[in-house]
Amino acid sequence: MLKGFKQFVLRGNVVDLAVGVVIGASFGTVVSSLVKDILMPFVVAIFKSPDFSGLMFTVHGSNFMYGSFLNALISFLIVAVAVYFFVVTPINTLISKTRKEKPLDPTTKKCPECLSEIPLEAKRCAFCTSLLK
């Protein structure tokens, strides 16, 4: 019974998942700090208030707290912008620079007489029947 549990825990995908969760949690902390400490002061500078939760309107005694929704929406947009411009774009640039495709070896050549594409091993052009060297 313990042997099966040990095999399950040490299986590659379980360990990979655990590492991914830990790294994801740490990355979430970094993104939250970037938003709270660096990007949110820009919102405060523009709107003069970092908290919109007090905004609401009342209809027939029901309070519509649209300020809380604005807080969540602005937070989401700032996190999305931060992740895109500070993580996705640099990673895509790095990956595209490291994945330089090697040119393929040519499999054809041009016939010197008619300029048609013919296989490299051809001894005679299939189009004009000239002998090739």
What is the distance between the alpha carbons of residues 97 and 17, in angstroms, rounded to a whole number?
A: 28
**Domain ranges, ordered by start, for the chain:** 2-98, 103-133
Q: pLDDT band at 59, cuts 50/70/90?
A: very high
Topology given in CATH for the domain delimited by 2-98: 1.10.1200
The span from the first CA to the last CA of the chain, in angstroms, equals 73
C-beta of residue 89 within 8 angstroms of C-beta of residue 97: no
pLDDT for the residue 104: 79
- Give me the helices (H) in 34-113, please: 40-47, 66-83, 89-98
Span 51-67, average pLDDT: 88
Mean pLDDT of the chain: 85
pLDDT for the residue numbered 103: 74
Rounded CA-CA distance 10/22 in Å is: 17
Band (18; pLDDT cuts 50, 70, 90):
confident
